[in-house]
Amino acid sequence: MIDGKEIADGIVDKLRRSVAKLDAVPVLAVVLVGHHPASLSYIKRKEAAAAECGIRSRLLQLDESITQKKLEGVIDDLNADDDVDGIIVQLPLPGHLDAKAATGSVAPAKDVDGFLPANVGATALNDHEPLFCPCTPKGCLHLIKSVGVPLRGKEACVIGASNIVGIPMGSLLLKEGMTVTTCHIDTVDPAAHARRADVLVVAVGKAALVGSSWVKPGAIVIDVGINFVPDATRKAGKRMVGDVDFDAVSHIAGYITPVPGGVGPMTVAMLMSNTFDACAARRSRRRQPGSGGGFSA
């Protein structure tokens, strides 16, 4: 089992030491519209991780009735605020708001989620590096590399083609020298593609989609899915599971991430890493125009 929490804790510890050496405290601004319970829970985890790293978090909780213009005005103010290093717009937004326009209004130098087309696009280009790599794919790649298995020349399969996970994940694996297949909603027989993969990343949001018959023996399996299924033994009446049938696949895979405790903690750790990088780069540019700074997880 690949313990994402243990690996993330190590990254946070390293970040804490790096932050302590800065001449400024990194600031992460989180824009939340409304009172979505799942979003609030996720933000609390981000705030806790930020505090562990020595990063200051600033929550801007806005009324659910806010207009698009006012929301983008709040983001513009944060873009102009020299004390703020990173900005995230917590999704989902209420239905009357345009999430693409809202996230797209974040300044590229503060896009620590890595959602902007400029960052996702640079992730895909061999001769470019993004200012900020999207957090979940960046964390997944770190988990894949943590097992120490050579990747170049091997086959990878990414199930799911979202802009924030599937597409950049495939790009990162291509840059590692892998032959990559991306499966999506129109793919015929995705299991056949998955069975060839030495590295299988699943990010579709469907509980236990991937069973043992989908997995090549010895493969590295990274489960990005977050789903809730009924469970009468739990106080909440439900439990979190991934897109992979863990009990069945763990007997076939060489390495596998659990849900929870796999990709989730790494996504938050990568957000903190990107926030540190944003702060270090901005401070460095002030001292020496054209120079940058960075944190290597």
Tokens of 282: 């901005």
Q: Where are the domains of the chain?
A: 22-107, 133-264
Give residues with Cβ within 8 angstroms of 52, minimum separation 6: 12, 16
Domain spanning 133-264: which CATH class is it, in words?
A: alpha beta
Instruction: Return the pLDDT at 267.
Output: 97
Two structure tokens written together for 286: 């002030």
CATH of domain 22-107: 3.40.50.10860
Active site residues: 46, 90, 113
Task: Tell me what pLDDT residue 293 has.
Answer: 44
Token look-up 């439990």 returns 239
Neighbours of 285 (CB within 10 A): 14
- Whole-model pTM: value is 0.93
Per-residue pLDDT, 100: 95
- Run means of pLDDT, 10 residues per run, the chain, 297 residues: 97 96 94 89 93 97 96 98 96 95 96 94 90 96 98 98 96 97 97 98 97 98 96 92 97 97 97 96 63 50
User: Residue 288 and residue 98: Cα distance in Å, rounded?
Assistant: 38
Give the alpha-carbon dihedral of 237, 241, 243, 248, to 10 degrees: -110
Strands of 179-183's sheet, edge to edge? 179-183, 155-159, 199-202, 220-223, 255-256
- pLDDT at residue 291, rounded to an integer: 37
Fold equal for 22-107 and 133-264: yes
Which residues, listed in sequence order, are joined to residue 256 by a DSSP beta bridge? 221
- The two structure tokens encoding residue 183: 């499966």
Task: Give the pLDDT confidence score for residue 295 in this predicted structure.
Answer: 59
User: What distance in Å separates the CA atoms of residue 57 and residue 78, rounded to the nearest whole number?
Assistant: 13
pLDDT of residue 284: 73
